[in-house]
């Protein structure tokens, strides 16, 4: 790990039990009360366990919760933008000092947690982080999810016994489900000292491809790192997206400088704050440069176009360490005959090819390829097959 960026907080956490310790924990869990996790909480258990959420070793206590909401940092001063909590109804809260078995939504034993703190879940305060000063209209998926959570938070370290709780599921991708320790080892084996990462929960269209290739020009390698944890209804399924990524990489990227892995996190749709979380997580995976495009992790019209870039200017650069790569909105210019942005080419009336998400979905549902200037035809065909089979 010596030649790579240090993990957030200085140490890469590993809370995954193996061998005799794992066997003993599974046996112990048989006699413990259990909590059935939500899909988001289950994703968080995996991210904590594998070290992607370093320096967290478990679910946050109140001091961290309050500090994250008010100051975008943990109580120890490390940058952290979003509370990572395990909430339950007050009547179901176990006593401090006890242990509980954490079970995934499908019933699989995922971890054992030692309860160190029980505190009131200030859901109203947590919901405010999703709006960046905008008004709460009762429609934001991330905020509404928080409001529906339990009124009591449990804090304490976890010991994970099952990392991927559904290894046969459509979002398992075991051959690409690399832990931070594994991506770091892969980067070292490839001789990559600088690595850029592209976060996505969508197929990669031509503008995304342009950002990736600009990043490849200034770093040793590119990690295409799609999120495959919980997303909102209407998002394209992860297995369809992975098919798109494989096809695009095979036909349009260089193997020696490109790597594909998946991140099993849940989407919060928290815009600027989630952009910070995605950067910190990628730092733990060994990434040095993180692509932040237009409306990163946004939803609806809750955030300004470049709010997710501007928030990085407010952070302690030394503590963050990873370099945000801030890109303007890009599109294909008919006059330039290539991808351009407001920084690289003058804006001419009717010159750039823009398509709304609604228009693209309509075309795909009708079996029509969007223009090749917007998306690669091979990717469009995969999406047409999915859209027309729904």
Q: Rounded to 5 degrees, what angle do the CA atoms 77, 289, 3 make?
A: 85
Per DSSP, what are the bridge partners of residue 377? none
The catalytic residue among 15, 177, 201, 206 is 201
Structure tokens at 255: 């193997």
Per DSSP, what are the bridge partners of residue 292? 326
Measuring CA to CA, which residue among 8, 29, 33, 138 is closest to residue 84? 8
Half-sphere exposure of 218 (CA within 13 A, CB side): 13
* CA 24, chain centre distance (Å): 32
- Helix 377-389 vs helix 357-365: crossing angle, to nearest 10: 70
3-class secondary structure, 325: strand
Q: Which distant-in-sequence residues (6+ apart) come within 8 Å of 227 by Cβ?
A: 199, 200, 201, 262, 263, 265, 267
The catalytic residue among 14, 202, 243, 310 is 202
3-class secondary structure, 306: coil
Q: Are strands 352-353 and 330-333 parallel, antiparallel or unpaired?
A: antiparallel
d(CA 344, CA 182): 37
Question: 201 catalytic, yes or no?
Answer: yes
Question: 106 catalytic, yes or no?
Answer: no
Q: Which distant-in-sequence residues (6+ apart) come within 8 Å of 351 by Cβ?
A: 333, 334, 335
Structure tokens at 297: 């992790």
Mind telling me the catalytic residues? Answer: 201-202
């Amino acid at each position: 790990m010596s030649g790579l960026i240090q993990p957030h907080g200085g140490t890469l956490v590993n809370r995954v039990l193996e061998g005799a310790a794992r066997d003993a924990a599974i046996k112990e869990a048989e006699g413990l009360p259990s909590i059935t996790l939500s899909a988001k909480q289950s994703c968080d258990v995996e991210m904590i366990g594998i070290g992607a959420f370093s320096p967290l070793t478990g679910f946050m206590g109140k001091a961290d919760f309050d500090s994250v909401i008010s100051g975008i940092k943990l109580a120890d001063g490390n940058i952290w933008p979003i509370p990572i909590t395990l909430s339950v109804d007050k009547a179901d809260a176990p006593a401090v000092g006890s242990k509980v078995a954490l079970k995934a939504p499908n019933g699989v034993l995922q971890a054992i947690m030692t309860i160190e703190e029980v505190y009131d879940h200030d859901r109203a305060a947590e919901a405010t982080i999703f709006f960046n000063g905008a008004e709460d209209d009762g429609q934001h998926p991330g905020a509404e999810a928080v409001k529906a959570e339990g009124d009591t938070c449990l804090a304490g370290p976890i010991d994970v016994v099952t990392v991927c709780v559904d290894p046969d599921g459509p979002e398992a991708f075991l051959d690409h489900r690399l832990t931070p320790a594994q991506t770091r080892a892969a980067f070292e084996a490839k001789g990559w000292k600088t690595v850029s990462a592209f976060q996505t929960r969508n197929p990669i269209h031509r503008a995304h491809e342009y950002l990736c290739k600009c990043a490849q020009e200034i770093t040793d390698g590119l990690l295409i790192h799609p999120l495959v944890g919980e997303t909102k209804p209407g998002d394209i399924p992860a297995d369809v997206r992975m098919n798109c990524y494989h096809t695009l990489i095979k036909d349009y990227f260089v193997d020696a400088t490109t790597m594909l892995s998946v991140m099993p996190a849940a989407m919060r749709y928290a815009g600027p704050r989630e952009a910070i979380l995605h950067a910190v997580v990628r730092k733990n995976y060994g990434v040095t440069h993180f692509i932040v495009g237009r409306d990163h992790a946004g939803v609806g019209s809750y955030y300004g176009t470049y709010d997710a870039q501007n928030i990085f200017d407010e952070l302690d650069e030394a503590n963050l360490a990873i370099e945000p790569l801030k890109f303007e909105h890009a599109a294909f210019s008919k006059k330039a005959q290539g991808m351009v942005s407001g920084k690289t080419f003058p804006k001419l009336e009717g010159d750039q090819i823009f398509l709304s998400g609604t228009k693209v979905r309509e075309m795909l549902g009708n079996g029509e390829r969007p223009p090749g200037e917007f998306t690669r035809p091979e990717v469009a065909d995969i999406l047409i097959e999915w859209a027309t089979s729904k």
